[in-house]
Amino acid sequence: MKKFHILGILVIGVAIGVILVSLKNTSTYADFNEAMKSPDKEFHVVGKLDKQATQIYDPKINPDEFLFSMIDNKGSVKRVVLHKSKPQDFEKSEQIVLIGKMQGDDFHANDILMKCPSKYSDGKPQIN
């Protein structure tokens, strides 16, 4: 065996190791029910803003806390505590991805991704 071959095998081994280790810790997409089942694990939950529910953002009390409700893709509604300032254009979002954990009845998110209306739908040719 040459040194290069040993190294090559080592590289493949490390790569597989990293993949296996990281797969264990990689957060997965889930719905609120799955997140309820393992409250210590971080999940990505996809859903829509519940426009009926009240939203609370009072930066005077805490600029890094925003409360709202989200309907996940399975239809269940949960109160969300976002530990960040309220995102701009929040109401316009079409789809929300929350990253966080379930605690009690609330979903605590440390980050949020929003999908706003796509580039193509908001601009249609218009003549005045």
Partner 1 sequence: MNTIDYVGERLWIGHIGNGFVVLSFVSSLLACILFYISAKNKNHLNFARVAFNLHSISVLGIAGTLFFMLFNHFFEYQYVWQHSNTDMDMKFILSCFWEGQEGSFLLWTFWNVVLGLILKKQLRDGLWEVPVMTIFSLVQVFLASMLLGIYLFDFKIGSNPFLLLRQHAEFSNLPFIQNADYLAKLNGRGLNPLLMNYWMTIHPPTLFLGFASTLIPFSFSIAALWNKQYTMWQVVALPWTYFGILILGVGILMGGAWAYEALSFGGFWAWDPVENSSLVPWLVLVAAGHTMIINKNKGGSLFTTHFLAIGSFLLVLYSTFLTRSGVLGNASVHAFTDLGMTGQLVIYVLTFVLITVALLINNKLFKITYLILSFLILVFGIVFGYKKVLLMIWILSSVIITAACYYLYFPKEKEEEELFSREFWMFLGALILILSSLIIIYFTSLPVINKLFNTDYAPPKVPVYNVWMVPFSIITMLLIACAQFLKYKKTNSKQFIIRISYSFLIAFIFGLACTIPLYFMSNFSSSSAYDKWNLISYASLFISSLFAVLSNSDYWLIILKGKVMKSGAAIAHIGFALILLGALISTSKKIVLSKNTAQRKVSGLGADFDDKKSILLTQGDTLPMGPHLVTYTGKKREGINVYFNVNYLKINKNGKPEFDFTLVPHVQDNPRMGKAPEPATKHYLNRDIYTHVTYADLNIDTITSNKNVFATAKNYIGHIGDTIYSSNAIIIIDSLKTNINKSEYEKNDSLLEVTAVLRCLDINSKVFYAYPKFIIQRNVVIPKEAIVDQLGLKLVFWKINPDEGTIEVTMSEKLSNNRDFIVMEAYVFPFINILWLGCFIMAVGITIAIIERTRLIKLQSSKV
* 118 binding partner 1? (CB under 8 A): yes
Taking the complex as a whole, the smallest distance from the CB of residue 29 to partner 1 amounts, in Å, to: 4
Residue 39 CB partners (closer than 8 Å, separation 6+): 101, 102, 103
Instruction: Return the sign of the alpha-carbon dihedral for residues 35, 39, 44, 45.
Output: positive
19 or 75: CB nearest partner 1? 19
1/3 Cα distance (integer angstroms):
7
Number of neighbouring beta carbons within 10 Å of residue 82:
24
> Closest separation between CB of residue 53 and partner 1, Å?
20
Residue of 38, 63, 74, 94 that binds partner 1 (CB under 8 A): 63
Instruction: Return the range that interacts with partner 1 (CB under 8 A); candidates 47-55, 69-77, 90-98.
Output: 90-98
| 27-44 residues labelled b (16+ CB within 10 A) or e (exposed) | eeebbbebbbeeeeebbb
Residues near partner 1 (CB under 8 A): 2-4, 7-8, 11, 14-15, 18-19, 22-23, 25-30, 43-44, 46, 57, 59-65, 81, 83-89, 92, 95, 97, 99-101, 103, 108, 110-111, 113, 115-116, 118-120, 122-128
